[in-house]
Structure formats: structure tokens, C-alpha cells
Amino acid sequence: MADYKRLERTLIARGAIIDYYQDTMQIPNGNVAKWDLIDHKGAAAVVAVRGDGKLIMVRQYRNALERETLEIPAGGLNGREEPTIEAAARELEEETGYVSDDLELLNSIYTTVAFCNEKIDIYLARNLRPGSQHLDEDEFLNAEAWSLEDLTQMIFAGEIQDSKTICGILTYAMKYAQED
């Protein structure tokens, strides 16, 4: 592996969920380059499967895309130290109104490795029980139940484009759907 050396890291802007840095890097040929870094505290997501096999999805507006998306429930960690399984359970109830004591790590992804360190641990939640949905003040979403078949068709048709959702659903389909 070639040698890379960070010479300096400069905070450019601090945001509500991310911090933006510019790194000054010495690269293997000896040149110096400026690289952007988006620092994210991490997140958790949940593939929530009801007893009837339907997956609980959330439909919400996403400002970056200027449209609504259909996604698995997810949210940021309350701090880098928060266990992702606790964040997954919290987001499941907050966004869908379901609770589960049966959460299992399904997969972990880094969303955009070229310039962002956001890591999302994706959990499988089964044995769902009704809880109470309690959305954040600025959160407006609808929880919906979908069949795995419909969701995979939507992925392959390009209708679902969110990376955590694609990864979570397809991992679940390949690893577990045959058992359910």
C-alpha cells in the first residue's frame, strides 16, 4: 500500500449532522493534494419484518433529492458512543410505531467512501409489537407495509435508489427471506 500522510485537517463548516473538513494530504508521488471530508457520527437502520412477512417502510420528503422517497426506517446516532442497536430500536419505534426485542445486525455500510465516513449499521427486526410512533418536530413521514417481492421489483426498476434501503432489503432477501 502506498504511503499517504495527512499534513493538516481544517474545519470548514460545522453542521447539525455533519462537519465539513478539508485535508491537506501528501500522496505517494510526493505531491500535496486537498481532499474534502464529510465527518458523520454514524447511523442505524432497520429492516422491520412483520409476522405476515411484510416490511415496514417509511415514505418521507428528502431535501437533497427534492422529492419523497421510500426507505427503511433509519436515523443518526445521538452520539458516537451510542450503540447502533439502541439507535435502531429507537428509530424503529419513533418512525413506525413498532417495537422489537429481536434485533440482529444484518449488514454495515459506508455510504460514500470517496469523501464521507458515514457508517450505517443495518439491523433486522422481527417479532414486531405495536408501540407508539413519535416523530421528531421536523419529521413528517408515513409508515407503510410492503411485500418483499414488490420492494425488490422497485429496486430493480430504479424506483428505490436509497443505498441503505437497497442494501438492507437485498441482504435480507438473500440471507433470510427463504426462512420466513
- Residues catalogued as catalytic: 137
Q: Are 18 and 40 in contact (CB under 8 A)?
A: yes
User: Hey, what's the cell of 120?
Assistant: 450505517
The answer to whether the beta carbons of residues 175 and 106 sit under 8 Å apart is: yes
Strands 43-49 and 119-126: parallel
User: How far lies 78's CA from each of 81, 83, 91, in Å?
Assistant: 8, 9, 11
How far is the C-alpha of 111 from the C-alpha of 120, rounded, in Å? 7
Q: What is the C-alpha separation between 4 and 124, in angstroms, rounded?
A: 37
- What does DSSP assign to residue 71? E
Q: Exposure pattern of 3-28 as b/e (b: 16+ CB <10 Å)? A: eeeeeeeeeeeeeeebebbeeebeee
